[in-house]
């Protein structure tokens, strides 16, 4: 469901709850410059997925960082 990059980003801003993480990512997004297109897209993608999942699904999700790049597997 989430890409490795999305998971790593969410780990940085994780508050322990889905709502808290959405709030933190939304706040962080407000500090990004328009030219930070990759990070904006990554944040928007993660936020969309988080908003579309339930709290129960989030609670069952193991939010652990994976610092291997997806294309290096």
| DSSP at 66 | -
Please report whether residue 73 resides in a domain: no
Say if residues 14 and 25 touch (Cβ distance below 8 Å): no
Burial bucket for residue 49 (CB in 10 Å: 0-12, 13-18, 19+): middle
- Please check the confidence at residue 71 and state whether its pLDDT lies above 60: no
Please report whether residue 66 resides in a domain: no
> Comparing 73 with 18, which gets the higher pLDDT?
18
What would the pLDDT profile of 24-65 be if each residue is shown by its tens digit?
Answer: 999 999 999 999 999 999 999 999 999 999 999 999 998 887
- Please check the confidence at residue 14 and state whether its pLDDT lies above 70: yes
Write the CB contacts of 31 (distance below 8 Å, at least 6 apart in sequence): none
Please report whether residue 67 resides in a domain: no
Please report whether residue 26 resides in a domain: yes
Please report whether residue 36 resides in a domain: yes
Q: How many domains does the chain have?
A: 1
| Average pLDDT estimate for 9-21 | 96
Please report whether residue 64 resides in a domain: no
Please report whether residue 8 resides in a domain: yes
Domain that holds residue 21: 4-59
């Amino acid at each position: 469901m989430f890409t490795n990059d999305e998971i790593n980003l969410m780990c940085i801003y994780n508050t322990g709850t889905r709502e808290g993480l959405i709030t933190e990512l939304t706040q962080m997004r407000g500090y990004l410059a328009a030219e930070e297109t990759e990070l904006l897209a990554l944040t928007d993608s993660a936020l969309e997925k988080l908003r579309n999942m339930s709290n129960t699904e989030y609670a069952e999700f193991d939010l652990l960082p994976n610092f291997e790049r997806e294309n290096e597997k």
